């Protein structure tokens, strides 16, 4: 590395040449860097935030208890994630789900066991039929190309809300599915294309798996918090990870691509962009990306999701036989879980506020938000819930380098119009990140699967190792090649080679 133009008045920008440059130090970017390095390539990971992990972040409650502000659970069958945790020595443990779950609907509180609340038989049957129907439709959607599914166009013309209006016949059934969706996608049913829901269910292997604790997506947690997986990977990568280095420009060069951030400029033979599609709109590509790829960034918004944590001296709800899991229509947290430490030395309740609820919630002041969340917890678990030792919120819409969570979703029409652009490399630029996954898209497992796929894609283009050419002088020599207006508009990296 050396300084670029030290005689200029602007701050010096370090220069680096590697085989593969990676944008984003979330799980996908870090896992891709790790695998590429294992294949003999030199890598540089540029991360906008001052820490790694992206949508994974450990926060502290009461100064002593880890809270997963972002992604938390490892689901059943998340094999890549389990293998990564094992390799890093990160301990996982089952989510506490012993006892009764609580359902608070139209002011009436009742308890139930399992995933589906004990409701009147008409509602129960309605929900079971809806789930079966979704699974049946999802089985016909292959997660790697949903736009080619039989009936893809017909499904993509409608939203999940319009589908529910026709196929879920009870108001309670529709409400419960909407509540679940606000946490799973951070979106209301009318924001979600039906084909997107079917893709998502297909990539998870069934709708039950999205909602379930045991046997589903919420099965296990990490004792050291999920971010520890990212920090563990970053530690192994050492000096190849550059924090506080937002990539502002991606410029085609002869035989390569340059990543430009305020503190660092990286020349690479190939680039992996491992960020949510919407975030690519923050980067200037030269030459410009093609119109469809640019519109993809506008058509796949991230959800709106806020996690609210309350810390108690002990998990007191367990003493009255409650699991801490609850569904409530009065919110603002409409789904809750017990996120206490494994040994139960303290009690932690987590409440999700998602979709339109999260947007309304964000308009309240901090004191009011805390008051209404704790009021909701007290309605579910008793007055003790109103007086926690500590309280914490994480609003992902307010994160400039995530712009929402937990993941991005297509609305109606999105998959058939823009799906084919999602993973298709643009010249020497390859795309990764959980949104591009075909297995457990939207989850940490999906981020890891996307890394596996992108690494295979990069390596299939020919040997990448040994690309670092000359020193900084060589990089300077290539500056300006393939700038705006050069090359094909849809191919910012210029000619493929």
Ligand X SMILES: Cc1cc2nc3c(=O)[nH]c(=O)nc-3n(C[C@H](O)[C@H](O)[C@H](O)COP(=O)(O)OP(=O)(O)OC[C@H]3O[C@@H](n4cnc5c(N)ncnc54)[C@H](O)[C@@H]3O)c2cc1C
Q: Which is nearer to ligand X, 23 or 346 (CB)?
A: 23
Rule CB under 6 A: is residue 23 a binding residue for ligand X?
yes
Task: Provide the 8-state DSSP code for 193.
Answer: B
Q: How many residues are present in the chain?
A: 497
- Minimum Å gap between C-beta 312 and ligand X is 21
Site for ligand X in 230-249 (CB under 6 A): 246-247
Rule CB under 6 A: is residue 224 a binding residue for ligand X?
no
Task: Give the whole-angstrom CA distance, residue 188 versus residue 409.
Answer: 11
Rule CB under 6 A: is residue 96 a binding residue for ligand X?
no
Q: Which is nearer to ligand X, 163 or 222 (CB)?
A: 222
Please give the size of the binding site for ligand X, defined by CB under 6 A: 42
- Residue for token digits 């085989």? 19
Which contacts of 360-363 are long-range, i.e. CB under 8 A and separated by 24 or more positions? Answer: 360/332, 361/306, 361/332, 362/306, 362/395, 362/397, 362/398
Q: Which residues contact 403 (CB under 8 A, 6 or more apart)?
A: 276, 278, 279, 302, 396, 397
Rule CB under 6 A: is residue 24 a binding residue for ligand X?
yes
Contact pick of 20, 22, 25, 429 for ligand X (by CB under 6 A) = 25
Q: Which is nearer to ligand X, 172 or 213 (CB)?
A: 213
Q: Which is nearer to ligand X, 156 or 399 (CB)?
A: 399
Contact pick of 283, 310, 327, 335 for ligand X (by CB under 6 A) = 283
- Minimum Å gap between C-beta 280 and ligand X is 8
Question: What is the SS3 assignment for 344?
Answer: coil
Find out whether 187 and 396 touch, Cβ atoms under 8 Å.
no
Rule CB under 6 A: is residue 54 a binding residue for ligand X?
yes
Contact pick of 17, 20, 55, 96 for ligand X (by CB under 6 A) = 55
Site for ligand X in 390-449 (CB under 6 A): 396, 401-402, 405-407, 433-434, 442-447
Find out whether 471 and 487 touch, Cβ atoms under 8 Å.
no
Taking contact as CB under 6 A, which single stretch among the options 26-34, 87-95, 199-207, 289-297 is the one that binds ligand X?
26-34
Cross-strand pairs, 362:
none
Among 13, 9, 26, smallest CA distance to 437 is for 26
Q: Which is nearer to ligand X, 415 or 443 (CB)?
A: 443
Rule CB under 6 A: is residue 72 a binding residue for ligand X?
yes
Q: Which is nearer to ligand X, 149 or 392 (CB)?
A: 392
Tokens describing residue 106: 């139209």
Pairing of strands 220-222, 43-46: unpaired
Rule CB under 6 A: is residue 265 a binding residue for ligand X?
no
Contact pick of 19, 21, 26, 349 for ligand X (by CB under 6 A) = 26
Find out whether 433 and 26 touch, Cβ atoms under 8 Å.
yes
Cross-strand pairs, 241:
45
Site for ligand X in 291-310 (CB under 6 A): 305, 307
- Minimum Å gap between C-beta 219 and ligand X is 10
Q: Which is nearer to ligand X, 69 or 137 (CB)?
A: 69
Rule CB under 6 A: is residue 48 a binding residue for ligand X?
yes
For the purposes of burial, counting CB atoms within 10 Å of the CB of 332, is it exposed (0-12), middle (13-18) or buried (19 or more)?
Answer: buried
Tokens describing residue 248: 């502002």
Q: Which is nearer to ligand X, 156 or 338 (CB)?
A: 338
Instruction: Report the residue closest to ligand X, judged by CB.
Output: 26
Tokens describing residue 269: 């033979």
Task: Give the whole-angstrom CA distance, residue 100 versus residue 83.
Answer: 32
Rule CB under 6 A: is residue 258 a binding residue for ligand X?
no
Q: Which is nearer to ligand X, 168 or 229 (CB)?
A: 229
Question: What is the SS3 assignment for 258?
Answer: strand
Q: Which is nearer to ligand X, 71 or 224 (CB)?
A: 71
For the purposes of burial, counting CB atoms within 10 Å of the CB of 166, is it exposed (0-12), middle (13-18) or buried (19 or more)?
Answer: exposed
Q: Which residues bind ligand X (CB under 6 A)?
A: 23-29, 46-49, 54-56, 70-73, 246-247, 274-276, 279, 282-283, 305, 307, 396, 401-402, 405-407, 433-434, 442-447
């Amino acid at each position: 590395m050396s300084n670029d133009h030290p005689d200029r008045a602007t701050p010096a920008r370090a220069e680096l040449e590697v085989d593969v440059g990676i944008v984003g130090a979330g799980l996908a970017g870090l896992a891709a860097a790790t695998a590429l390095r294992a294949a003999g390539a030199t890598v540089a990971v540029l991360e906008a935030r001052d820490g790694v992990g992206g949508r994974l972040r450990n926060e502290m409650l009461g100064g002593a208890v880890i809270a997963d502000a972002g992604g938390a659970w490892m689901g059943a069958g998340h094999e890549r994630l389990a293998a990564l945790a094992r390799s890093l020595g990160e301990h996982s443990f089952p989510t506490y789900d012993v006892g009764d779950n609580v359902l608070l609907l139209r002011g009436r509180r009742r308890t139930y066991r399992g995933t589906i609340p004990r409701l009147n038989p008409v509602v129960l049957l309605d929900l079971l039929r809806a789930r079966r129907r979704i699974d049946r439709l999802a089985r016909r959607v292959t997660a790697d190309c949903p736009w080619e599914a039989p009936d893809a166009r017909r499904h993509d013309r409608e939203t999940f809300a319009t589908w529910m209006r026709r196929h879920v016949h009870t108001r309670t059934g529709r409400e419960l599915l909407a509540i679940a969706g606000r946490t799973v996608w951070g979106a209301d049913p009318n924001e979600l294309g039906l084909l997107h829901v079917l893709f998502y269910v297909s990539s998870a292997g069934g709708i039950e798996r999205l909602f379930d604790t045991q046997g589903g997506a919420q099965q296990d947690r990490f004792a050291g918090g999920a971010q520890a997986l990212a920090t563990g990977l970053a530690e192994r990568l050492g000096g190849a990870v550059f924090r506080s280095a937002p990539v502002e420009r991606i410029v085609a060069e002869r035989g390569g691509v340059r990543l430009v951030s305020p503190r660092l400029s990286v020349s690479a033979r190939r680039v992996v962009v491992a960020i949510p599609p919407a975030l690519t709109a923050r980067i200037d590509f030269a030459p410009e990306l093609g119109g469809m790829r640019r519109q993809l960034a506008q058509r796949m918004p991230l959800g709106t999701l806020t996690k609210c944590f309350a810390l108690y001296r002990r998990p007191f709800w367990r003493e009255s036989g409650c699991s801490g899991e609850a569904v409530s229509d009065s919110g603002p947290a409409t789904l809750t879980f017990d996120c206490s430490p494994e040994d139960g030395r303290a009690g932690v309740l987590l409440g999700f506020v998602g979709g339109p609820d999260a947007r309304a919630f964000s308009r309240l002041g901090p004191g009011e938000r805390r008051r209404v969340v704790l009021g909701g917890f007290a309605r579910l678990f008793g007055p003790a819930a109103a007086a926690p030792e500590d309280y914490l919120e994480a609003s992902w819409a307010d994160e400039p380098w995530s712009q929402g969570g937990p993941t991005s979703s297509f609305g109606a029409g999105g998959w058939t119009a823009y799906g084919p652009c999602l993973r298709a490399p643009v010249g020497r630029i390859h795309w990764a990140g959980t949104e591009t996954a075909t297995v457990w898209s939207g989850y940490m497992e999906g981020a890891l699967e996307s890394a596996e796929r992108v690494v295979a894609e990069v390596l299939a283009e020919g040997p990448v190792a040994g690309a670092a050419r000359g020193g900084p002088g060589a990089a300077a020599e290539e500056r300006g090649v393939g700038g705006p207006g050069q090359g094909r508009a849809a191919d910012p990296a210029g000619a493929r080679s």
